[in-house]
Structure 1
Amino acid sequence: MRLLAFWGLGVSVVWGFAFLKSWERENACMQYEWTGKLHVKQIEYRNKQFYGESRLNALTGDVELVYSGWRRLPKYFCVFLFMLWQMLIMLVLVASWVTIYEILKATYKESHIFSTQWFLILLEGCVFGFFVDVVQWNMVVTKMGALFTHWENYRTEEQYEKALIRKLFLLDFLNYYTWFFSLAFIFVIPGLGNYLTNTFNHMFFGDAMNCCFGPYVNQDGSCTMCPVGDKDATCIECIGFFTFDRHHVDLSAMFVTPIVITQLLNIILRLVAPILVRKRRENAQARADTRAQQCVREAGSMKILGSLDYEDQKESQFGNKSSSRYLEYTPTEIEVLNKKAREILFDSEQDTYDPYDDFHVLTVQFGFTVMFSMLWPLMPFACFLINSVKSRTDGYRLCKTLKRPIPRRANGIGAWNSILTAYAYIAVIVNVLLICISTGVLEFFDETCVSDIQHQLEKQGKTLDDFVFGPDFGCLHIAWRLLFILLLEHLFVAIAYVSMRHVPRVPRWIKDVMSARENKFKGLLREHELDLFPPNSSSGNEGSCDNGKSADAGSDKSSMSSEACRIDVKGLVSFEGNASSVTNRSIRTSSSQSSPSRSISIDPMTPLSRAPSDAEFPTSTGVRTKAREKLARQWSDGSEN
């Protein structure tokens, strides 16, 4: 039991944050290998469904659609009400699941593997997992989340995706983790599970809040004690079917269903359902093709060809050779062509790939792993095996059952990275609460508490190996538990935060490469600063070149163009073959046959205000080269003539 505490904190604090930091570094490596840079501006795609009021932008002078933020406040409130409704539904489902679990435990005493109780509890978990993961999530939660996000009306697709991901994150907690949080922090704590059970019996069946149920009822129907309120008070048996026994709730067995059974069911449904739909459609199309071929054979190909108007080939459907040749194929060849055509048509009609489902599954698995590995130590290995199978099935699903997605550049996984980070920090708090309150692991660090637990188990004919997770508040007071919670939670959250802040997200070798590239670029600028940016004088523009020649505003234009400065930038080549550009507005690259080194031709810049001509040619930068000025003058002279 003591090792479980170290295992849970090790997975949540060490592995969880190490995984996130390693992904950040890997993402930086992929960005650099793909673009040669780290901070690439992501393209913002406009939301086609965005609407608003047309207003004039005072800065740009363009008419833009504007949607006030206060209009989303009532919509946020509706989302909040929907989330409360979802949480209530999940609590009722959990209470129903626990009730059925108790009934099966009481009805079928044999609990070994492959027994009747084992099969029925497994079937119950499959049905509940199917409803929560498939029906509740895919048919209700995701659709309502997309509906609310569309209703909130965001300008860009990036804003829409971030808002949707935040909703999915909150709904995950209310849809998936309500089950486990209620089991881990309500049902296993003495008194809270009884109070919640009586609350549901009171709400749905009108029972008194102190009615007895399950383990508090004798065989004759009388109550041994009241589960809520004064233990010596008089109470009657509950009419409602909700029941609960804390000693039967095994937290280690509660996670087999959602992790193993539910995930496997989800994989099978996502893979098998599209294949069955595709086979059904292909068979229907094959039957239609067979009937069409039979009609052609019965009517006769020559009669069909003879009825066509060969004189007007432009209007005839079979007027060209390639179309009329279709009737000359054998049935086997026609079936091959039809099969290829069916594949093309089916691929074009497939559903568009939606990454939210895959990210949702991965984030849920990450949350289970970092938050509840202490309750079921095999959780990481089960997730690894499931993902190994899922990687192959997802490959088939993406290639065979979904439409090819349109590629878009992205700098990473976006808001999902923040969701994973939030899961990691929440997992630290959850593991501390599990150690100090829910599981009873904290008691095993006190020899007196261990002796008390062993003595209580010996009365029941059991040993410490039969210990069921649950706290003993009589041995360790709640005040000490709260003190340990505050100390451990602050300590491990601080360790995780410091490690995430001080471990760099960019590998050292990338920093060295980019620093060397930047130093070379700055060195070249310092070396040729006067050539690139010649100083201005009162009489005109002056500049100096490597050959010692100077150019001023009164010199001849032809000599200026021929006296262009040459800079050897052979060394200005970035690592891995990427060349660095100095500046586009003042430098243009030229090649020289006599010298193999790379060179840049520099033309002195002439400010518009000091141009020797009276004609004004405005530019965006306010300066232009002699070559541009010459072209502008030629264009001006030609337009005047």
Structure 2
Amino acid sequence: VAMLAFRSILMAAFFTASWLPAGWRGEKGAQVGASLGGVFLSFFVSLTNVGYTKLAIRLNDWENHRTPTDYEDALILKNMFFKFINSYAALMYTAFIKAQSISLMPGVSEYCHSKETFGMSQDEILRHYGSNPFCMNELSTLLTSLVVTSQITGILSDLLLPFVSAWRAAKNEEDKMRKKAGEGCCSRWGVPGFHAVGLPPPPPLSFAEHQAKRQEFAGVNPRYGVLIIQLGYIVLFAPAFPIAAAVTYVFNLVRLRGEAFLLLKLTQRPLYAGAEDIGSWDTVLNAITILGVMTNVGIVGITSSHLRDALPMDILGVHFDKSDRVLLLVLA
């Protein structure tokens, strides 16, 4: 809720900003503020997911699991439970709570904004357009910002940070070898405090030593977690961003080749680890599938105004009004 309130503040700031060019104030400014709010929300989600992962590992370590498979299954469920709430809470709030004019902040009315009507009050929007007709637009803008920003930041962090870590590890190893060489010569020459200035560079590492210095393979679970969160954006909120699957497919092609390069150049050879099945990931996928049916029905029936505007109607002699729109979708 705090991040969504910050997003609304950004929209208002850009809507009335005097430092912006005249053509970028008003409607365009509100749209820019909404997009930037989604970008900041994506950064917030990414950072807190890192903290949630560490918390899930700490909680899982306190438990006594019989086998490594049981340990991984329990860790997957804890980790994804935290990430589900963190990644989708703002979208769920916009789609279902805010769309129903339900406020979680006492004394503050909640209604969805549109760049064309951002300067109107809630009563004016209700009088001219009906009850919260722009929540679908707000949900689409927020989801688009989240998907695109999370993909870009994910690729940059997954591909650049390993290179930085490898460079720092190599630099530290070289410094350690130089220091050790300097201490050896000092002890032989009996010169306390002598440092290794002007010493020849240490001999290059052999192939086996070079391989041993590489980073260990982190396993597939972190990669699976990223893909599951992407799947949730695509499946749970499909009407709000229909081309999300195509967008993530393009980004995943880049990520796939980048991670393959890192696996070859910066990572130790992975050890074989057999598995009977995909474990708790099957439970997570089934939960997304079932929840996706309910959220998509809710988005079409509650968040979007198209079905609401088409009612009342008679179907096979049965009369449906606006209060029956969710029931109509369930029966369909």
Give the TM-score normalised by the residue count of structure 2. Answer: 0.74
Relative to structure 1, the CA distance from residue 111 to residue 483 in structure 2 (aligned partners, 3 Å threshold; closer, same or farther) is farther
**Deviation of residue 182 (structure 1)?**
0.8
1:253 counterpart residue number = 141
Relative to structure 1, the CA distance from residue 295 to residue 387 in structure 2 (aligned partners, 3 Å threshold; closer, same or farther) is same
2:210 counterpart residue number = 343
Amino acid at match of 2:50: N
Amino acid at match of 1:164: L
1:153 aligns with 2:57: no
SS at match of 1:263: helix
1:437 counterpart residue number = 302
Instruction: Give the Cα–Cα distance (whole angstroms) in 2 for the partners of residues 210 and 265 of structure 1.
Output: 33
1:100 counterpart residue number = 10
Amino acid at match of 1:346: K
Relative to structure 1, the CA distance from residue 147 to residue 477 in structure 2 (aligned partners, 3 Å threshold; closer, same or farther) is farther
1:130 aligns with 2:18: no
1:356 aligns with 2:269: no
Write out per-residue CA displacement over residues 528-570 of structure 1, whole angstroms, 9 at most, x where no aligned residue: xxxxxxxxxxxxxxxxxxxxxxxxxxxxxxxxxxxxxxxxxxx
Amino acid at match of 1:126: V
More helix by proportion, 1 or 2? 2
SS at match of 2:272: coil
**Deviation of residue 387 (structure 1)?**
0.9
SS at match of 1:354: coil
1:279 counterpart residue number = 167
Q: CA RMSD in A?
A: 4.0
* Contact persistence 1:432–1:485 (CA under 8 A): yes
Instruction: Give the Cα–Cα distance (whole angstroms) in 2 for the partners of residues 421 and 212 of structure 1.
Output: 33
SS at match of 1:188: helix
Relative to structure 1, the CA distance from residue 164 to residue 341 in structure 2 (aligned partners, 3 Å threshold; closer, same or farther) is closer
Instruction: Give the Cα–Cα distance (whole angstroms) in 2 for the partners of residues 294 and 148 of structure 1.
Output: 45
Amino acid at match of 2:262: R
1:425 counterpart residue number = 290
**Deviation of residue 443 (structure 1)?**
4.0
1:405 counterpart residue number = 270
* Contact persistence 1:353–1:402 (CA under 8 A): no
Relative to structure 1, the CA distance from residue 117 to residue 392 in structure 2 (aligned partners, 3 Å threshold; closer, same or farther) is farther
Alignment of 1:517-536 (within 5 A): none
1:583 counterpart residue number = none
Instruction: Give the Cα–Cα distance (whole angstroms) in 2 for the partners of residues 94 and 343 of structure 1.
Output: 48
Instruction: Give the Cα–Cα distance (whole angstroms) in 2 for the partners of residues 287 and 150 of structure 1.
Output: 35
* Contact persistence 1:111–1:118 (CA under 8 A): no
Instruction: Give the Cα–Cα distance (whole angstroms) in 1 for the partners of residues 44 and 163 of structure 2.
Output: 22
1:187 counterpart residue number = 98
**Deviation of residue 442 (structure 1)?**
1.6
Write out per-residue CA displacement over residues 307-351 of structure 1, whole angstroms, 9 at most, x where no aligned residue: xxxxxxxxxxxxxxxxxxxxxxxx68x65x24857734522xx24
SS at match of 2:213: helix
Relative to structure 1, the CA distance from residue 213 to residue 360 in structure 2 (aligned partners, 3 Å threshold; closer, same or farther) is closer
* Contact persistence 2:98–2:110 (CA under 8 A): no
**Deviation of residue 385 (structure 1)?**
0.4
Of 276, 281, 287, which residue of structure 2 is paired with 1:416? 281
Amino acid at match of 2:330: L
Write out per-residue CA displacement over residues 164-185 of structure 1, whole angstroms, 9 at most, x where no aligned residue: 2222332232111111111111
Instruction: Give the Cα–Cα distance (whole angstroms) in 2 for the partners of residues 111 and 105 of structure 1.
Output: 8
Alignment of 1:21-100 (within 5 A): 91-100=1-10
Relative to structure 1, the CA distance from residue 343 to residue 123 in structure 2 (aligned partners, 3 Å threshold; closer, same or farther) is farther
* Contact persistence 1:367–1:423 (CA under 8 A): yes
1:482 aligns with 2:320: no
1:468 counterpart residue number = none
SS at match of 1:432: helix
* Contact persistence 1:187–1:246 (CA under 8 A): no
Amino acid at match of 2:2: V
In structure 2, runs of 5+ residues without a counterpart are 114-120, 190-199, 314-319
Relative to structure 1, the CA distance from residue 479 to residue 251 in structure 2 (aligned partners, 3 Å threshold; closer, same or farther) is same
Instruction: Give the Cα–Cα distance (whole angstroms) in 2 for the partners of residues 168 and 283 of structure 1.
Output: 34
SS at match of 1:409: coil
* Contact persistence 1:353–1:404 (CA under 8 A): no
Write out per-residue CA displacement over residues 386-423 of structure 1, whole angstroms, 9 at most, x where no aligned residue: 11011012212333344433312113322212211221
**Deviation of residue 481 (structure 1)?**
1.1
* Contact persistence 1:282–1:342 (CA under 8 A): no
Instruction: Give the Cα–Cα distance (whole angstroms) in 2 for the partners of residues 166 and 430 of structure 1.
Output: 21
Relative to structure 1, the CA distance from residue 213 to residue 166 in structure 2 (aligned partners, 3 Å threshold; closer, same or farther) is closer
SS at match of 1:377: coil
Instruction: Give the Cα–Cα distance (whole angstroms) in 1 for the partners of residues 330 and 148 of structure 2.
Output: 34
Write out per-residue CA displacement over residues 547-599 of structure 1, whole angstroms, 9 at most, x where no aligned residue: xxxxxxxxxxxxxxxxxxxxxxxxxxxxxxxxxxxxxxxxxxxxxxxxxxxxx
* Contact persistence 2:65–2:71 (CA under 8 A): yes
Instruction: Give the Cα–Cα distance (whole angstroms) in 2 for the partners of residues 358 and 378 of structure 1.
Output: 22
**Deviation of residue 275 (structure 1)?**
0.8
Instruction: Give the Cα–Cα distance (whole angstroms) in 2 for the partners of residues 375 and 101 of structure 1.
Output: 20
Instruction: Give the Cα–Cα distance (whole angstroms) in 1 for the partners of residues 306 and 233 of structure 2.
Output: 19
SS at match of 2:277: coil
Taking every aligned residue pair, what percent have the same amino acid on both sides?
Answer: 22
Instruction: Give the Cα–Cα distance (whole angstroms) in 1 for the partners of residues 236 and 174 of structure 2.
Output: 51
2:196 counterpart residue number = none
Relative to structure 1, the CA distance from residue 424 to residue 265 in structure 2 (aligned partners, 3 Å threshold; closer, same or farther) is same
SS at match of 1:261: helix
Amino acid at match of 1:374: P
Relative to structure 1, the CA distance from residue 132 to residue 275 in structure 2 (aligned partners, 3 Å threshold; closer, same or farther) is same
Instruction: Give the Cα–Cα distance (whole angstroms) in 1 for the partners of residues 182 and 235 of structure 2.
Output: 63
Instruction: Give the Cα–Cα distance (whole angstroms) in 2 for the partners of residues 486 and 477 of structure 1.
Output: 15
SS at match of 2:240: coil
* Contact persistence 2:45–2:87 (CA under 8 A): yes
* Contact persistence 1:183–1:251 (CA under 8 A): yes
Relative to structure 1, the CA distance from residue 276 to residue 188 in structure 2 (aligned partners, 3 Å threshold; closer, same or farther) is same
Relative to structure 1, the CA distance from residue 247 to residue 484 in structure 2 (aligned partners, 3 Å threshold; closer, same or farther) is closer
* Contact persistence 1:353–1:403 (CA under 8 A): no
SS at match of 1:405: coil
**Deviation of residue 156 (structure 1)?**
1.9
Relative to structure 1, the CA distance from residue 264 to residue 157 in structure 2 (aligned partners, 3 Å threshold; closer, same or farther) is same
